Amino acid sequence: MRPAPCIATLLALPVAAFAASGPLGIDHRLPYDNSGIWARHNQLALEDGVILTELGGALWLGGQNQLGKTFWQSIDSSAFTALTVQGMKYAFGRERPSQTDNPNEWFKGGQSFPSGEVALQASF
């Protein structure tokens, strides 16, 4: 690969993201929505269900069964992910979209990025 196309591509990247006035109007301020599938109690029920499935499957099947071993590895993955996500929240300090409409506000002490709920589902 020649270096010229790589350099041109890097120079074409935007320096800063644009908020609501930018392309597609992304990163505009969002109101808090606690209804339907977005209701907090539904999110917590899904999170509890995943954790109970991991623990129940691992304890029921043990480590000798192939599926049981997979459940134990899932528990390891979820624990490692939880610790990593919490560290990243302190490192990045991103505010929630309902708190700001500026996509460039990092390191402000927020606890939004990365999402612990999404990371748990990915680790499961």
- For tokens 């134990």, the residue is 72
Return per-residue pLDDT of the chain as tens, 124 residues. Answer: 566 666 666 666 655 555 555 555 566 666 777 888 888 899 899 999 999 999 999 999 998 999 999 999 999 999 999 999 999 999 998 888 778 777 777 888 888 888 888 899 999 8
Q: Would you say the pTM of this structure is higher than 0.85?
A: no
Domain positions in the chain: 38-96+103-124
What span, in angstroms and rounded, lies between the C-alpha atoms of 43 and 62?
28
